[in-house]
Structure 1
Amino acid sequence: MNRPTAPSGKKAPNFAQASLLPLQKAEDCCHQAEPVAEPSAAARPAGNARYSWKVQGMDCPACARKVEVAVQQVAGVTQTQVVFATEKLVVDASEDIRRAVEDAVHKAGYALSVDGAAPQPHTAWREYFPLALITALMGLSWGIALFSPVGGKAAFTITTLAGLWPVARQALRQIRAGSPFAIETLMCVAAVGALFIGATAEAAMVLLLFQLGERLEAFAAARARRGVTALMALRPETAIRLRDGAMETVPVAALRPGDCIEVAAGARLPADGRLLNDSASFDESALTGESLPVEKSRGDGIAAGATSLDSKALLEVTSQPGDSAIDRILRLIEEADARRAPIERFIDRFSRSYTPAIMALALLTATVPPLLFGAAWSVWIYKALALLLIGCPCALVISTPAAITSALASAAQRGILIKGGAALESLGRIRQIAFDKTGTLTTGQPQVTAIRTFSTYSEAQVLTLSAAIERGSTHPLAQAIVRTAEERQLVLPNAEQQRTLAGIGIEATVNGERLRLISPARVPVTLLRAEEQALVQSLEAEGHTLVILLTGETALGAVALRDTLRSEAPAALAELGELGIQCIMLTGDNPRAAAAIADTLHTQFQAGLLPADKVDAVRKLSAASPLAMVGDGINDAPAMKAATIGIAMGGGTDVALEAADAALSHNRLNELPALIRLARATHNNVRQNIAIALGLKAVFLVTTLIGFTGLWLAVLADSGATALVTANALRLLRRKKQG
């Protein structure tokens, strides 16, 4: 059934400028031409070949950096890129280096599969076995220590060695791959150092916390990557192609520009196309985020992934294989992810200088005084052991994950999903928030907002007759009208001889009278008085969508519909303003509708934006200060990835949820201020923890070297710092819910 469009007259998304991989032009619209899957020669050095794989086993962006470092050491490699969001490794090389790259990545502790091939079977037990083993041994060791301190110490030693084995093996792999001071090396130094001075329980606990953190991070990363592939669900695997008067079902990859395809009612478009029918309605909400259907006329372009409403549509394919709107959005996500520098965990960065510095200092302490000054070896070896304990980064290692874990648990109690510590840290730096309109600031469902009468009919009669005509339709506007009539408990008469008016509206016979429900643009000017025309123009200027009820040559009334603002939106944005956050609305809707919403919220806005335009706007805003992007549609996903951090509404599409770094699972905008406060509190907590850990180490470092403190006080200092850091982090769990 055809329906009037929203006042925006939204065009089909045009992602031509977003394309990263130019494809070969078809030689003939009736003949298949092989697509060029690789970039043109101008995109990379002459003589280079490009290879791509899927990387398995990456838990965080730091893993992507490790893979890049390992591959860059392979002879013949000229350029390497790892896109963490899609697990893709792309290598440019002057020769065939596939075997060498696969060996290098394998030695670094990761697995490769050919891009596009099925991934290797997932073996969860191998991933969780080290954590389960050290947890069980830890509990057993505590039980033994209660009855026998000596036996407990031996048990903790065995527990540490069991937990150290997989970490040490990975550390050795990273050393061979060119990353000698990764976090695995830090863990090994911490555990071995603690064992060396007898802190066996502490050594085992550090490894247990490390294994737990690694599994949680791997789980979040797997969910984030899995959501990106949901884009492909919008494009069917096959299409119905019309050729020489016959219908044939072909794979989507076989479609070429110029092919004629048929899309049944309720089905999605397999490729970008140009409409061949006189008119048809399409649901583009999955791509544009706008809830109102769009009316298309002959020759209009429609993007892949849009759904044909009410009737079958004939289209001419306009996109090459692998270059549809969906493919280009996916590449936008990859491009935005690649532009963002890999967020390395603080401890991993710090350990690159901290760990070797402490080891070198301990070695110098043990050897320099005896060798140069004839001091007693036993005294300075004792001091070196104390320094090694002081340098043991147990408290430092726990400081950041303890605060982050507490904050993530606190956020979960509010119904907020935050995907890791890096996202939480970024949230604490946010100074701007960009909002999508439909489904984010608004409910995303059209509702009847006004009913106007142009005759002796009452508002109830106009609504009753309109709902009777629309009853049975799956069109969102029709459902909104029928729903409103039912809410008002109106009795709807039976409608007969319902008929869709192509490009106009719908008509039916009700109580023996022929009625039409059509767009104002299709109503002859002579049928509306001047005041009625002014009323229609006024409502449309406010962003409403209107339908006019007619009988013969008489206008009976009008029904206005509009997507409504979320009830909590004004208060949420006002509270964000009090926190020093500047808010701006980015929408693909028309400027009139956008201005109406922005005026209510007292915020800035940019309207008429396509997905690629949103990405550009986000990048420009992010250049001024850290920015968060809040959205719910697939079209928002690239902008979320381009922003400092992406925040998705919990009721949004899977792709938006998974492309985001955080999600409001309860769809409440008033949780945003609480989220910002929590992130800032966590940032302060982490800094406090680091200050405690490093401050105590600095004090005892000096006192140990001058002989005021010894091994036992060093043990107490390290354990005390760990306890203080943990207690400080737990304060985040006691933060009361705000908003």
Structure 2
Amino acid sequence: MEIKNVYRLQGLSCTNCAAKFEKNIRDIQTVEDVQLNFGASKITVQGEASIEQLEQAGAFDGIKVFPERQRQAEKKEPFWKKRENITTMISLFLIIVGYVLSFQLGEESPITIGTFGLSILIGGYSLFKVGLKNLTKLQFDMKTLMTIAIIGAAVIGEWGEGAVVVFLFALSEALESYSMDKARQSIRSLMDIAPNRATIRRGNEIIEIDVEDVRINDIMIIKPGQKIAMDGEVVKGQSSINQATITGESIPIYKTTGDEVFAGTLNEEGSLEVRVTKHVEDTTIAKIIHLVEEAQAERAPSQQFVDKFAKYYTPAIMIIALLVAVIPPLLFGGIWSEWVYRGLAVLVVGCPCALVISTPVAIVTAIGNAARKGVLIKGGIHLEETGRLKVVAFDKTGTLTEGKPEVTDIVRLSSMSNEEILGISKAIESFSQHPLASAIIRKAEKDNVDSYSAEDFQSITGKGAKATLNNSTYFIGSPSLFEEMISVPNDIKQQIKDLQTQGKTVMLLGTEKEIKGLIAVADQVRKESLSIIQKLHQIGIEKTVMLTGDNEATGSAIGSQLGLSETKAKLLPQDKLEAIKSLREQHGNVAMVGDGVNDTPALATATVGIAMGGAGTDTALETADIALMADDLEKLPYTIALSRKTLGIIKQNVSFALGLKLLALLLIIPGWLTLWLAIFADMGATLIVVLNSLRLMKTKYSE
């Protein structure tokens, strides 16, 4: 059995460092494979490697390694107290002293040169250590380019500029690291939601233990004001639970015996006893964290493009820099020192740092922000596709409606009484999982109808069911089921049509020869559905479609009530699949919104599958590309708006990073591009790209 360990990392500062760290671990003989997740600052190692070996592989960047489940106290070290930032400040002080001395003693003075040299050594020590090592191995990353530029500056006597370049580079590294930490904070805050310890009653003893030691079926005691440590089922007590950490909904949910509760949610008032139903690594919050981290590791299409582009871009910049430095002096009698200086400026401005970080930092921030608001986006690709949506298709039951239909009418069509119709229907439907079946069972129980026992139950997909009662075979199902067996009289057809026009679903009960009665059931439309459909149209969704297995009349009644663009009724699961396919052919990007339990094929076929109520169902978490953890649509417009904003920010970032580089390179022609201006352009681009991405943290759900 292969050994697979997951570790969390501290001090992982840039994408280049991450790639190098991954390569160093791969070089360890006992390691078979390694996957590094830059966004989540996490690494998965297959094979044997000690923490010391891993830290040695990351020693060049001071990377610290911790086992995944170990919660290390986050060191709140002030920005200016970090060692690398102190050396940066000393470097700045020496630059100022150097320039003061150059005015008094001249630029050629050994004291002036010595001061700038000291500034370069102190500020750039860690940079040179890595850069020179890379140079010997012919690995050309950002630090190698910088090392060449600074050594070159010193060789041609530009000591002051070399020192400024060192300082600005160190400053940009520090600010980039700080910004990435801010972006990763969204995951850390998720990880700290659930308590480390739980109060458990075993026998007559009440003990407090680590959540890792809690066993399934343990009884957990939760006092008012405490956070729930594990997923479980309430066995005693009742209370309001604030589930905002999981579902993003701030209104507390009332829970009583038999209800499900989640780790990381807050017990507001009553005292509860909860039977633990999942291990700590399987809790809903653990799954959310895992899925968010996987999502942040997944490369979005725009990131894949940028990564490929950067692969060719860096060598191209090095060749251009060499040509700028060499060709004018060799062929046109240019001054060597002047053109070498310009070549070095090209090298510095050409760093692909801003470009490489432009996409991942936006995606990491957006996915983290969404997770905190109860929306689980399972990858950058889904985020980008949601931003391009033109059409949103909805399942009806449980999505646009409450999903708890109620019996509204029972109509006798034979000598059978209403109670008998309801009792026989209940006996057959007690075998079924369909929402309409549950409406009949609830009504029969409420009215205390006599129980019948049915045998040989058989489901007729999409149409109904049949079973044997008192040696007779009874059918219950849609009018089309009976139309296949008998000729339905016109007066009954009219009754059915009248009820359907009111938005009710009609089920017939009868035998192969006769219809005994009908039951009308109506599902209540969710009160928020209308405003959500309106919001979707306002934010630019061209078409909203409802896909339902119900009849045309019921579908149309609900469709017009909600202002939907189109309603497709009488659909079996495979028809929903075909409907999504045809919508994709006509409009391109289509989202399917469902409950993740039925409609799995349609969710999988849509460009983006969006499942509701992810907090309660593993299926929703696994099937969908996006899971709305609360069982409502409130977060759908927010998710689409966030995705569009992310797409916009990625485009801005890439355009800005490339545009600034191009502008800086054009300044070489008149000779206006100085070394310090080159790194200022590079640093400015990186910082603006990161800060622009962090705007996604502030994306709110517009009421």
**Aligned counterparts, 1:142-291, within 5 A:** 142-145=99-102, 149-150=106-107, 154=113, 156=116, 159-172=119-132, 180-277=139-236, 282-291=241-250
CA drift at 1:218: 0.8
CA deviation after TM superposition for structure 1 residue 332, in Å: 1.3
- Residue 620 (structure 1) shift: 6.7
1:488-513 Cα shifts (integer Å, max 9, x gaps): xxxxxxxxxxxxxxxxxxxxxxxxxx
The CA deviation string for residues 492-538 of structure 1, in whole angstroms up to 9 with x for no partner, is xxxxxxxxxxxxxxxxxxxxxxxxxxxx9999799xxxx9xx99999
CA shift for structure 1 position 106: 1.9
Aligned amino acid, residue 112 of structure 1: V
Matched, 1:573 2:550: no
The aligned counterpart of 2:30 is 76
Amino acid at match of 1:689: L
> Structure 1 residues 117 and 263 mapped into 2: Cα distance closer, same or farther (>3 Å)?
closer
Q: Does 1:67 align with 2:21?
A: yes
Whole-Å Cα distance in 1 between the matches of residues 102 and 154 of structure 2? 16
Residue 67 and residue 678 in structure 1: after superposition, are their counterparts in 2 closer, same or farther (change >3 A)?
closer
Per-residue deviation at 1:678? 6.4
Compared with structure 1, are the counterparts of its residues 674 and 239 closer, same or farther at alpha carbon in structure 2 (3 Å cutoff)?
closer
Determine the structure 2 residue equivalent to 1:552. none
2:319 aligns to what SS in structure 1? helix
2:342 corresponding residue in structure 1: 389
Q: Does the aligned pair in 2 maintain the 1:163–1:207 contact within 8 Å?
A: yes
The alpha-carbon distance between structure 1 residues 540 and 243, as it changes in their structure 2 partners (threshold 3 A), is same
1:91 to 15, 22, 45: 45
Q: CA deviation at 1:168?
A: 0.8
Provide the C-alpha distance between the structure 1 equivalents of 2:545 and 2:176, rounded to a whole number of angstroms: 32
Secondary structure, in 3 states, of the residue corresponding to 2:270? coil
For 2:199, give the aligned amino acid.
I
Please state whether the residue corresponding to 2:170 is helix, strand or coil.
helix
Shift of 1:201: 4.2
Partner of 1:543: 526
Q: Deviations over 1:25-84 (max 9, x none)?
A: xxxxxxxxxxxxxxxx3xxxxxx3334443322113332222101111111211112223
Provide Cα deviations, 1:246-297, integer angstroms capped at 9, x if missing partner: 4433332222112222333443332221332497654433212345554556
Unaligned runs of 5+ in 1: 1-40, 42-47, 370-374, 409-415, 418-425, 436-519, 545-561, 586-590, 624-628, 647-655, 657-666, 701-712, 734-738
Whether the 8 Å contact between 1:282 and 1:306 is mirrored in structure 2 is yes
- Distance in 2 between the 1:102 and 1:142 partners? 40
Question: Would you say the 8 A contact 2:34–2:44 is kept in 1?
Answer: yes
Secondary structure of 1:392 counterpart: helix
Q: Which runs of 5+ in 2 are unaligned?
A: 362-368, 371-379, 390-441, 449-498, 505-519, 547-554, 567-588, 628-634, 692-701
Amino acid at match of 1:184: K
Deviations 1:569-612 (A, max 9, x none): 579714x98xxxx9999xxxxx99x989985899976444579x
1:54 is matched by which residue type in structure 2? R
| Percentage of pairs with the same residue | 19
Relative to structure 1, the CA distance from residue 568 to residue 51 in structure 2 (aligned partners, 3 Å threshold; closer, same or farther) is same
* Post-superposition CA distance 1:547-583 (Å, at most 9, x none): xxxxxxxxxxxxxxx6996999579714x98xxxx99
* C-alpha distance in structure 2 between counterparts of 1:212 and 1:184, whole Å: 14
Separation in 2, partners of 1:284, 1:97: 39
Determine if the alignment matches structure 1 residue 106 to structure 2 residue 59: yes
Alpha-carbon distance in 2 for matches of 1:328, 1:317? 16
In the TM superposition, what are the counterparts of 1:709-724 in structure 2 within 5 Å? 715-716=671-672, 722=678
Change (3 A) 1:393 1:96: same
Of 71, 86, 90, 1:133 maps to 90
Provide the secondary structure at the position in 2 that maps to 1:89: strand
The answer (yes or no) to whether the contact 2:36–2:44 under 8 Å persists in 1 is: yes
Residue identity matched to 1:104: A
* C-alpha deviation, 1:298, in angstroms: 4.8
Q: How many residues align?
A: 518
Partner of 1:357 in structure 2? Answer: 319
Residue in structure 2 matched with residue 650 of structure 1 by the alignment: none
Cα displacement string for residues 340-387 of structure 1 (whole angstroms, at most 9, x for unaligned residues): 3788889975674146536766898799x8xxxxx9xxx989548725
Q: What is the identity, as a one-letter code, of the residue corresponding to 2:84? A: E
| Residues 111, 233 of structure 1: alpha-carbon distance in 2 compared, 3 angstrom cutoff | closer
Question: What's the CA shift string for 1:103-131, capped at 9, x where partnerless?
Answer: 22224643334442636967653031133
- Residues in 2 aligned to 1:731 and 1:53: alpha-carbon distance in whole angstroms: 31
Q: Secondary structure at the match of 1:78?
A: strand
**1:142-168 Cα shifts (integer Å, max 9, x gaps):** 444555652697355554454333321
**Matches of 1:129 and 1:643, distance apart in 2:** 48
Q: What CA distance in whole angstroms lies between the structure 1 residues aligned with 2:125 and 2:230?
A: 51
* Structure 1 residue matching 2:145: 3-state secondary structure: helix
What is aligned with 1:482?
Answer: none
User: Which structure carries more relative contact order (alpha carbon 8 Å, separation 6+)?
Assistant: 1
Which one is further off, 211-220 or 668-677? 668-677
TM norm structure 2:
0.55
The CA distance in 1 between the partners of 2:49 and 2:682, in whole Å, is: 51
For the pair 1:688 / 2:633, whether they are aligned, the reply is: no
Change (3 A) 1:694 1:49: same
CA drift of 1:314 comes to: 2.8
Structure 2: how far apart are the matches of 1:68 and 1:727?
25
Relative to structure 1, is the Cα distance of residues 291 and 164 closer, same or farther in structure 2, using a 3 angstrom cutoff? closer
Deviations 1:438-462 (A, max 9, x none): xxxxxxxxxxxxxxxxxxxxxxxxx
Deviation at 1:324, TM superposition (A): 1.6
Q: Is the 8 A contact 2:346 2:665 kept in 1?
A: no
Query: 2:262 is matched with which residue?
Result: 303
Once the two structures are superposed, what CA deviation does each residue of 1:300-348 show, in whole Å capped at 9, x if it has no partner? 4433233445433333211123322222222112222333378888997
- The residue type paired with residue 389 of structure 1 is R
Supply the AA of the counterpart residue of 1:171: G
Name the aligned partner's letter for residue 24 of structure 2.
A
- Alignment partner, residue 707 of structure 1: none
Query: 2:615 & 2:94 partners in 1: Cα distance?
Result: 46
CA distance in 1, matches of 2:124, 2:245: 48
Counterpart CA distance in 2 for 1:120 and 1:727 is: 28
